[in-house]
Amino acid sequence: MSLVELIAQADERALAASGLACLDRCVPLLGGDDEVLRPLWTSLADGAEGETWGECLEQARAKLPALFEEPGEEAGEGPGEDRAVRLARQMLATAPAVPAGTPVREWADACSVASLRIHRLLEVMVPAGGVDDDVDARREGRTEGMSPLVAAELRRQITVLELLAGNGNGTGPAVGGLRQVLAVSTEGRRVLRAVVSRRARGRS
């Protein structure tokens, strides 16, 4: 199945974990450490409802104050890496206070798109429309000629949703499935952190 199809079939908790995994991999762009989103992962593993998730979400936002320094700025403006940072900020800013219903489905889908666009932007400077068109095609299953960084992120997103499919018990993904998802996300975060570091060294 394509990524779009997997997202369409995912339940609420799988969607929350999928969106969180996309955000987690992009934490290096927000200046956060590797543990900043750990409470949110714990809340999902504990089967917590919206109150605990919402509290953990506010804690994460408080640790990343730069997120709200430019409230009037729209994601999608500006070139290359600046746009990637804005997309990462938007992923955290738009996370739902309760991981349920239409809001979490829309958020998970938006995080999928944003994370792929971020990886495309960091890999090579291309016109904004080219990034958007390319990512949409990849999510629908047209994967010919993919660049390595985007291909790896697409595989991670698909793997996460496949790990979560059928792992729940009606109240959310099983803890074992979440551990595997977290391992996949951790690997992706290390890759993106290395990319961000290389680009920073190249500018210095």
Q: Which two tokens stand for residue 61?
A: 């936002």
pLDDT of residue 161: 94
Contact 124, 147 (CB under 8 A): yes
Residues 53 and 122: their CA atoms lie apart, in Å, by 30
Output the CA torsion sign for 67, 189, 122, 4: negative
**HSE-up of residue 1 (Cα within 13 Å, Cβ side):** 14
pLDDT of residue 142: 61
What does the pLDDT profile of the chain (204 residues) look like in tens digits?
A: 889 999 999 999 899 999 999 999 999 999 888 999 999 999 988 875 556 899 999 999 998 865 544 444 444 444 556 889 999 999 999 999 999 999 999 999 999 999 999 998 988 644 444 455 566 666 665 656 677 888 899 999 999 999 988 654 444 455 678 889 999 999 999 999 999 888 777 765
Residues 47 and 127: their CA atoms lie apart, in Å, by 42
Residues 135 and 119: their CA atoms lie apart, in Å, by 10
Residue 127: φ, ψ to 5°: -60, 145
Residues 146 and 148: their CA atoms lie apart, in Å, by 6
pLDDT of residue 56: 94
